[in-house]
Amino acid sequence: MRRSLQQPPRFGAAVVKTALLGALLCSTTGVRAEQREDAKRYQLRWVREGGAESCVSGAALERLLQQVLGAKATATGGAVVLDGVASAAAEPLRYTMRLTVRDAGTGEVMGERELSTAEPKCSALTPALLLVLAMSVDPDAGKAGLPAAVSEELRRGREEDVDVWPATDKAGTPLAGAPDAPRAQRTSPGPLSSRRPESDAARNGVSATARSAASATARSAASAPARSGASMDDGDRARDHEQGFVRDDPRVFGALALSLGVFPSLASGAELGARVPLRRGWALSFSVLGWFPQIVQLPASPYLQDDGVQLAAGQLGAALCRPLLGTRVQLGVCGGLGAGVRWVSALALGSRDNPTRPFYGPTLGVDATYRVASSWFLSGGVTAQAFVPRDRFTYVDHLGQVRPWFEPSLFSGRAWLGVGAFL
């Protein structure tokens, strides 16, 4: 399936052609104002292939480019024809955009460019796409970054998970120029505003490689939204992508867990944690896990004060994690250490020692992360853990005999489901 917005080229206009070539080859040479006005005339052809339907639509791209350049695409004529195709990319990437700049008169290829991203949302490429296209028409366009209204619209579109924007309202008024009041009150910083260096990189890249067909994959990957708080910079990520590592984003998460072997019967608990990416695809995960108190029934006896004793536990964990495959649904493994304590409230006993006992042990688990949106995810997994020391919990009955009531197994397993947010 193809969706396209095609505007036939206008033939002729040698002056415009000359100006465009001059602008592309030497962006710093002076060009007269009237020549510039002519040079800003362009045609736009935009195609989204199957699998890339979530990329920016042709109507939206035309409107946004008009805001950046201050000139509307023409159906015919102009200096250049901007030809773009968005398509799905092979793993680990998600989307690729191939851009070609042609002379409107001769059809000669003046420059080629390819943008790609591993981001789950194609809209991550939209800012770079706009800059590349705008600078192909006017080398001075976007020197100071994208116009604020465009940036705001792009930011809003990403926050609201909108990939295909409406072009205009029914009256034909551009929607992006004047954001409505409630949306304008959003205070969280837009992705572009915190990514000025990346925008610059993209802009410089266009200037330097406008006539080359070299792949811009690495730079495009670097232009993916940066996430604050990460221990690896964008260069690290780019290198990881180049080397085939699956990226692991910094995140916080909470989960509910069911465990066997921690308590005498199935135990439930809650976990909070954070994961920090390291180099070469590794990540470090920290968590605090608390098991909800459980009543352990003691053998029926008329000498008891209550039905049983209460057992609870909590532990801190640290693990090295490595995503193995997938982007939107990502599978990975984690291995590390857990250390915690079990504590007992001997409700049923006449004299209560209420002991607290530490435990330690290695952990090994597999997990899956499903990126529901760019900012949050669902996750689940199973983890096996060994417990030492091998304690035996006991009590003394009314005859003075020592009776065991719980002997933790050496290995325990837990399954968990959670939700989290990317940082």
Of 4 and 356, CB closest to other proteins: 356
- Shortest Å, Cβ 321 to other proteins: 15
d(CA 104, CA 43) in angstroms, rounded, equals 8
For residue 103, give every residue at least 6 positions away whose Cβ sits within 8 Å of its Cβ, in sequence order, or none.
17, 20, 21, 79, 80, 81, 110
User: For residues 31 and 304, which CB has a smaller minimum distance to other proteins in the complex?
Assistant: 304
Residue closer to other proteins, measured from CB, 292 or 303? 303
Of the residues 391, 413, 419, 423, which one makes contact with other proteins according to CB under 8 A: 391
Q: With respect to other proteins, which residue has the nearer C-beta, 142 or 261?
A: 261
Going 200 to 131 to 162 to 417, the CA torsion angle's sign is: negative
Comparison of 171 and 399: residue with beta carbon closer to other proteins: 399
| Span interacting with other proteins, options 14-22, 61-69, 95-103, 342-350, rule CB under 8 A | 342-350
Alpha carbon distance 85, 2 (integer Å): 10
Sequence-distant (6+) residues with CB within 8 A of 335 are 319, 320, 362, 363, 364, 365
Out of 18, 76, 209, 394, name the contact with other proteins by CB under 8 A. Answer: 394
List the beta bridge partners of residue 290. Answer: 270, 314
User: Is 411 one of the binding residues for other proteins (CB under 8 A)?
Assistant: no
DSSP annotation of 37: H
Any contact of residue 263 with other proteins (CB under 8 A)?
no
Half-sphere exposure of 141 (CA within 13 A, CB side): 26
CA distances from 254 to 110, 111, 124, 312, 419 (A): 52, 48, 27, 19, 6
Binders of other proteins in range 125-184 (CB under 8 A): none
Q: In the block, which residue shows the tokens 């417990």? A: 387
Nearer to other proteins, 182 or 404 (CB): 404
The answer to whether 355 contacts other proteins (rule: CB under 8 A) is yes
Identify the three-state secondary structure at position 364.
strand
Evaluate whether 331 touches 321 at the Cβ level (below 8 Å). Answer: no
Per CB under 8 A, 286 contacts other proteins: no
DSSP string, 248-269: ---EEEEEEEEEESSSSS-EEE
**Region near other proteins per CB under 8 A, out of 90-98, 102-110, 123-131, 393-401:** 393-401
Nearest to 345 by CA among 390, 381, 395, 391: 395
395 binds other proteins (CB under 8 A): yes
CB of 366 to other proteins, least distance (A): 23
Q: If binding is defined by CB under 8 A, does position 295 make contact with other proteins?
A: no
Choice between 53 and 343, CB closer to other proteins = 343
Residue 114 C-beta: closest distance to other proteins, Å: 36
- Which of residues 85, 221, 304, 313 is near other proteins by CB under 8 A? 304
221-225 own/partner pairs: CB under 8 Å, 24+ apart:
221/93, 221/116, 221/117, 221/118, 222/198, 223/115, 223/117, 223/124, 223/125, 223/127, 223/128, 223/195, 223/198, 223/199, 224/117, 224/118, 224/119, 224/124, 225/119, 225/124, 225/158, 225/191, 225/195, 225/374
Nearer to other proteins, 101 or 304 (CB): 304
Query: From the list 106, 268, 297, 354, which residue makes contact with other proteins (rule: CB under 8 A)?
Result: 354
- Asked if 396 is part of the footprint of other proteins (rule: CB under 8 A), the reply reads yes
The reply on whether position 196 binds other proteins by CB under 8 A is no
The yes or no reply on residue 344 touching other proteins (CB under 8 A) is: yes
Kindly state whether residue 360 participates in binding other proteins, applying the rule CB under 8 A: yes
What would the two tokens of residue 91 be?
């793993």
Establish if 422 lies at the interface with other proteins (CB under 8 A). no
With binding defined as CB under 8 A, does residue 392 bind other proteins?
yes
Select from 88-96, 100-108, 264-272, 302-310 the region that touches other proteins (CB under 8 A): 302-310
In 3D space, the residue among 261, 321, 334 whose CA is nearest the CA of residue 291 turns out to be: 261
Contacting residues toward other proteins, per CB under 8 A: 300-306, 309, 318, 337, 339, 344, 346, 349-355, 357-358, 360, 388-398, 402, 404-405
